[in-house]
Amino acid sequence: MPYVDRIAEPWGTRTPYGPGEPWPVRVDSFLESGLRAQDVERWVQSATILHSNGDGLDIAVKDGRVVGVRGRAQDRVNHGRLGPKDLYGWQAANAPDRLVRPLVRENGRLVETDWDTAMERVAGRARRLLDEQGPSAIGFYTTGQLFLEEYYTLALIAHGGVGTNHLDGNTRLCTATAAAALKESFGCDGQPGSYTDVDHADVIALYGHNVAETQTVLWSRILDRLAGPNPPALVCVDPRETPVSRAAAVHLANRPGTNVALMNGLLHEILANGWIDERYVRDHVVGFEELEKRVRDFPVEKAARICDVPVDALREAARLIGTARRLLSTVLQGFYQAHQATAAAVQVNNVHLVRGMLGRPGCGVLQMNGQPTAQNTRECGADGDLPGFRNWSNDAHVRDLARVWNVDPMDIPHYAPPTHAMQMLRYAEEGSIRFLYVTGTNPAVSLPELVRIRSILGQERLFLVVQDIFLTETAQLADVVLPAATWAEKTGTFTNADRTVHLSEKAVEPPGEARPDLDIFLDFARRLDLRDKDGAPLVKWGDAEGAFEAWKECSRGRPCDYSGLSYARLRGSGGVQWPCDDEHPDGTERLYADGRFWSDPGHCEDYGRDLVTGAPLSDIEYKALNPDGKAIIKAAEYVPPHEEPDGDFPFWLTTGRTIYHFHTRTKTARAPQLQRAAPEPWVEMSPADAARLGFTEGDLLEVATARGAVRARLRVTSMRDGVIFLPFHYGYWDRPDGAGPGESPGRAANELTITQWDPASKQPVFKTAAARVSLVTASSGAPSQAPTTAASRPVSADVPATAGGADAQAEEVMR
């Protein structure tokens, strides 16, 4: 059996294939040291949870414990492959410091208690505030990592029961712009493309999407195409050099904050050369004239000047994209967390609309997600939208949801768009939100400008509930901490970025008194005595499968139709893509194959927004724009970023992730192989900038912005001059001070980031801030501990290569 160190080789061994051929199977597995496959007692079906790719896997169980994982050969997403985080990350759930009992704050300290005491405190405070102030006092902030059943239940409790408009997920930080861009272009959320488009594409354009680190298995698929006959050409837009840019035919390392300028330049060239499908535009699209007008005065020379990229590179990118026969585009945080996020992501959709490249093999857009179940927060309404992609400003949609829930339409808040996460924090800051229920996320590390966030969450007048599996930085600020079960300890479904639904079954018991999030929500609803309009209990299910069956009814006839699915259907399957109904019993590989969209004024999920001001359009404006339910081309003007480098803060700061960690490392830092691969934060800088300032690899630097300062060791990489990069994963829970930096220098990248968000999608800006860098202590010769395998690859040959060692040997079986 071939064994591979998958820390040293994150993407594993190549299995080349050609266009239109099936992607070969390669089954990856990793078991606890000393165990072999025959020692495993049970294999339990699930999928991966430390990224958004949704790779099918089986969980290995022995003696009531999870002891390993193995990729599912028959799964449509991964054909057996797993990434490093999947292979090693499961060990975190077995960590000795899991939360196993509820905690409540007594005299300023968190102390253990029983469930009844903790839940009565939570429900009691909610009830009192509802009597005193009403639903405007209550907010819910959830995650992209629970299961569909849990989100749907939470959405019903918050919107249909408590009646608050304040409900969002941390998906606001990762996927809000994907949803917003799809709504703007197609009238409704829903991923048009499929991962299988990689098998057919002749050009793949990746916009701010370092897929090699965010979705390792999808990158393996692209690498296998690149290694096979007739490989696709890649176009990469990213200020850093990454594995993607190294493999690309064209790399555009544009100045941060200029994505809309770049896209307008590309669109100018595409239109000027007539690389458009006139018939498609005539039959299926509105708004083309506005785009023509907008980009007419935006030649590539102008775009190249604003973006500071070579004009020939921009032209070559436009030629590749404009003349592709099968064009696949993918978009992620380089666009979503950047200035003018929605406007830029929408221009990618526009490229596909003018080129008529949708709904055919190889012709797709993938507006990606960052988290495993982010898609479900959007569908189920745990991001504040109404469930089933219903339109909050369409009374008929609200009535229909009220019918499903058996409540009065007036009981469902729909007077204004849902309150997004950053606005909720603002209301808590002002004191009008007085109860915040946080599930499965860690805002004290993940939100921008942490000094501000800690001061808001730490207020005496705010009652903070945190439901999680570890005592995170946020949990340490809570009034009540509820210990949750995690993946493998509960059953539920989730959906990846290409609409593939997987069932994840319970494999083992949760530790101690930890309970599934669903059970905790049900308990909360019971204690609040939430009722429907006939006086019956509002939440009519008591387990995950019951919640799924209810969701099927809620989704019936909607774009994200699950009515053809069931646990039985998903059991043993290789994943099914929604919509799945009577008409499409095997699911649907690509949306909009017939050039028909879910954008009729009576059907659409959203009437769209002004991309600069964020103001929602009215139904009347939308009807005038798009009476016949076509796709919508929305042009956008380039607006300079709100914070730019100057004399005091001469660098652009961008933040991002590494291949070995997930979010705030609560899980990945507890998997030894992953933690060793990237044990501490670092700061990346180009060789020219480092030479100019006299810095060398491994120097301890201080990075400061107007908001704060952090310290990290320097990694010199081939990135754009004038830009520095910090990974965002590192907080304080594994340092002595725990909840924050305390008296020590900070290390969380979000000490530095700016409180600002895209007006249309409300996604915070993490990619553009002005910073300065100074030396703290010079290196004694030791390099920084940044990984050498991916974007943080050093320019110096002296840095030892990242390797996992003896306990990182994973098995790879080719079939």
Partner 1 sequence: MKLDLVIRELHRSEGELAHLLLRMSERHKGDHETYHVARDLAGWCHDHVRELAEAGKEHGLDLDPSHDVSVAERLREKAAERLGRRSEPGLLLLADLRQLYLAASEVSLDWEMLAQAAQAAKQRDLLALTQRCHPQTLRQLRWANARLKESAPQALLS
One of 297, 430, 583, 798 touching partner 1 (CB under 8 A): 430
Q: Is 549 in the site for partner 1 (CB under 8 A)?
A: no
Please, what is the minimum distance in Å from the beta carbon of residue 426 to partner 1? 6
Q: What is the DSSP string of 390-416?
A: B-TT-HHHHHHHHHHHTS-GGGS--SS
Which of the stretches 315-323, 346-354, 358-366, 750-758 binds partner 1 when contact is defined by CB under 8 A?
Answer: 750-758
One of 46, 136, 375, 376 touching partner 1 (CB under 8 A): 136
Please, what is the minimum distance in Å from the beta carbon of residue 608 to partner 1? 12
Q: Is 386 in the site for partner 1 (CB under 8 A)?
A: no
Q: Is 642 in the site for partner 1 (CB under 8 A)?
A: yes
Rounded Cα distance, 37 and 40, in Å: 6
Q: Is the peptide bond before 579 cis (omega within 30 degrees of 0)?
A: yes
Q: Is 514 in the site for partner 1 (CB under 8 A)?
A: no
Please, what is the minimum distance in Å from the beta carbon of residue 216 to partner 1? 35
Nearer of residues 427 and 733 to partner 1, judged by Cβ: 427
Please, what is the minimum distance in Å from the beta carbon of residue 143 to partner 1? 23
One of 757, 772, 792, 804 touching partner 1 (CB under 8 A): 757
Please, what is the minimum distance in Å from the beta carbon of residue 431 to partner 1? 8
Nearer of residues 340 and 495 to partner 1, judged by Cβ: 340
One of 112, 292, 610, 807 touching partner 1 (CB under 8 A): 610
Rounded Cα distance, 425 and 483, in Å: 23
Sign of the Cα torsion 184, 188, 189, 190 reads negative
Q: Is 297 in the site for partner 1 (CB under 8 A)?
A: no
Return all residues near 92 (Cβ < 8 A) that are at least 6 apart. 666, 667, 668, 670, 671
Q: Is 429 in the site for partner 1 (CB under 8 A)?
A: yes
Please, what is the minimum distance in Å from the beta carbon of residue 714 to partner 1? 31
Helix, strand or coil for residue 17?
coil
One of 33, 117, 273, 432 touching partner 1 (CB under 8 A): 432
Size of the site for partner 1 (CB under 8 A): 28
Binders of partner 1 among residues 159 to 178 (CB under 8 A) are 165
Beta bridge partners of 390: 386
Nearer of residues 220 and 753 to partner 1, judged by Cβ: 753
Nearer of residues 493 and 756 to partner 1, judged by Cβ: 756
Nearer of residues 26 and 454 to partner 1, judged by Cβ: 454
Query: Do 619 and 307 contact (CB within 8 A), yes or no?
Result: no
Q: Is 133 in the site for partner 1 (CB under 8 A)?
A: yes
Locate tokens 């608050």: which residue?
Answer: 164
One of 16, 24, 417, 537 touching partner 1 (CB under 8 A): 417
Return all residues near 741 (Cβ < 8 A) that are at least 6 apart. 732, 747, 748, 751
Burial zone of 251 (CB within 10 Å; 0-12 exposed, 13-18 middle, 19+ buried)? buried
Q: Is 705 in the site for partner 1 (CB under 8 A)?
A: no
Please, what is the minimum distance in Å from the beta carbon of residue 505 to partner 1? 42
Which of the stretches 221-229, 264-272, 328-336, 419-427 binds partner 1 when contact is defined by CB under 8 A?
Answer: 419-427
Q: Is 426 in the site for partner 1 (CB under 8 A)?
A: yes
> Given 3-state DSSP classes, what are the helix, strand and coil percentages for the chain, each rounded to the nearest 5?
35, 20, 50
Q: Cα dihedral angle (351, 643, 302, 368), rounded to 10 degrees?
A: -20
Q: Is 756 in the site for partner 1 (CB under 8 A)?
A: yes
Please, what is the minimum distance in Å from the beta carbon of residue 769 to partner 1? 13
Helix, strand or coil for residue 501?
strand
Please, what is the minimum distance in Å from the beta carbon of residue 330 to partner 1? 28
Provide the phi-psi class of 225: left if phi over 0, else alpha when psi is between -120 and 50, else beta: alpha
Nearer of residues 216 and 756 to partner 1, judged by Cβ: 756
Q: Is 687 in the site for partner 1 (CB under 8 A)?
A: no
Please, what is the minimum distance in Å from the beta carbon of residue 436 to partner 1? 14
Rounded Cα distance, 350 and 324, in Å: 15
Return all residues near 189 (Cβ < 8 A) that are at least 6 apart. 179, 182, 183, 378, 379, 385, 389, 559, 560, 605
Backbone angles phi, psi at 329, to 5 degrees: -120, 140
**If we measure between CA atoms, which residue out of 541, 470, 503, 507 comes closest to residue 734?**
470
Which of the stretches 427-435, 491-499, 528-536, 719-727 binds partner 1 when contact is defined by CB under 8 A?
Answer: 427-435
Burial zone of 461 (CB within 10 Å; 0-12 exposed, 13-18 middle, 19+ buried)? exposed
Q: Is 423 in the site for partner 1 (CB under 8 A)?
A: yes
Q: Is 337 in the site for partner 1 (CB under 8 A)?
A: no
Please, what is the minimum distance in Å from the beta carbon of residue 755 to partner 1? 5
Rounded Cα distance, 317 and 234, in Å: 9
Q: CB neighbours (10 Å) of residue 302? A: 16
Q: Is 624 in the site for partner 1 (CB under 8 A)?
A: no
Please, what is the minimum distance in Å from the beta carbon of residue 635 to partner 1? 12
Beta bridge partners of 331: 207, 367
| CA–CA distances in Å: residue 452 to residues 8, 429, 459, 473, 644 | 39, 9, 11, 14, 21
One of 134, 572, 602, 650 touching partner 1 (CB under 8 A): 134
Please, what is the minimum distance in Å from the beta carbon of residue 610 to partner 1? 6
- What mask, x for binding partner 1 by CB under 8 A, covers residues 709 to 748? ----------------------------------------
Q: How far is CA 332 from the centre of its chain?
A: 8
Nearer of residues 164 and 496 to partner 1, judged by Cβ: 164
One of 195, 280, 389, 427 touching partner 1 (CB under 8 A): 427
Please, what is the minimum distance in Å from the beta carbon of residue 414 to partner 1? 11
Q: Is 342 in the site for partner 1 (CB under 8 A)?
A: no
**If we measure between CA atoms, which residue out of 640, 563, 497, 569 comes closest to residue 144?**
497
Q: Count how many Cα atoms sit within 13 Å of the Cα of residue 5 in the half-sphere of its side chain.
A: 13
> Which amino acid appears at position 398 of this protein?
V
Q: Cα dihedral angle (275, 277, 278, 279), rounded to 10 degrees?
A: 170
**If we measure between CA atoms, which residue out of 49, 321, 348, 323 comes closest to residue 207?**
348
Binders of partner 1 among residues 49 to 108 (CB under 8 A) are none
| CA–CA distances in Å: residue 583 to residues 487, 556, 587 | 32, 12, 9
Burial zone of 97 (CB within 10 Å; 0-12 exposed, 13-18 middle, 19+ buried)? exposed
Q: Is 422 in the site for partner 1 (CB under 8 A)?
A: yes
Rounded Cα distance, 197 and 366, in Å: 10
Nearer of residues 21 and 610 to partner 1, judged by Cβ: 610
Q: Is 111 in the site for partner 1 (CB under 8 A)?
A: no
One of 227, 396, 568, 615 touching partner 1 (CB under 8 A): 615
Which of the stretches 33-41, 52-60, 652-660, 754-762 binds partner 1 when contact is defined by CB under 8 A?
Answer: 754-762
Q: Is 759 in the site for partner 1 (CB under 8 A)?
A: yes
Nearer of residues 459 and 796 to partner 1, judged by Cβ: 459
Token pair for 108: 């300023």
Q: What is the DSSP string of 655-719?
A: EE--TT--TTSTTGGGSHHHHHHS-S-EEEE-HHHHHHHT--TT-EEEEE-SS-EEEEEEEE-S-
Q: Is 619 in the site for partner 1 (CB under 8 A)?
A: no
Q: Is 614 in the site for partner 1 (CB under 8 A)?
A: yes
Nearer of residues 403 and 642 to partner 1, judged by Cβ: 642
Q: Is 137 in the site for partner 1 (CB under 8 A)?
A: yes
Please, what is the minimum distance in Å from the beta carbon of residue 707 to partner 1? 12
The contact set with partner 1 (CB under 8 A) reads 133-134, 136-137, 165, 415-417, 419, 422-423, 426-427, 429-430, 432, 610, 612-616, 639, 642, 755-757, 759
